[in-house]
Chain A
Amino acid sequence: DGGITQSPKYLFRKEGQNVTLSCEQNLNHDAMYWYRQDPGQGLRLIYYSQIVNDFQKGDIAEGYSVSREKKESFPLTVTSAQKNPTAFYLCASSIGSSAGEAFFGQGTRLTVV
Chain B
Amino acid sequence: AQTVTQSQPEMSVQEAETVTLSCTYDTSESDYYLFWYKQPPSRQMILVIRQEAYKQQNATENRFSVNFQKAAKSFSLKISDSQLGDAAMYFCAYRSPNTGNQFYFGTGTSLTVIP
Contact = CB atoms under 8 A, between A and B. Distances in A.
User: Do A and B associate with each other?
Assistant: yes
Interface of A: 31, 33, 35, 40-43, 45, 48, 50, 56, 58-59, 88, 90, 92, 94, 96-99, 101-102, 104, 106-107
Contact of A40 (B9, B31, B105): B9
A42 B101 contact: no
A48 B105 contact: no
Nearest to B42: A106
B93 interface: yes
Interface residues of B, number: 27
B85 interface: no
Contact of B44 (A58, A97, A104): A104
A96 B108 CA distance: 25
B91 A43 contact: yes
Given A98-B32, A101-B35, A92 B103 contact: yes
Given A97-B101, A101-B50, 4 more contacts: A58-B102, A88-B43, A98-B101, A107-B43
Interface of B: 1, 9, 31-33, 35, 37, 42-45, 47, 50, 52, 91, 93, 95-97, 100-103, 105-108
B95 A98 contact: yes
Contact of B105 (A31, A42, A106): A42
B103 A102 contact: yes
12 contacts: A42-B91, A42-B107, A43-B105, A45-B102, A92-B45, A98-B33, A99-B52, A101-B35, A102-B35, A102-B103, A104-B44, A106-B42
Nearest to B4: A42
Contacts of B37: 102
A106 B44 CA distance: 5
A98 B96 contact: yes
Contacts of A59: 1
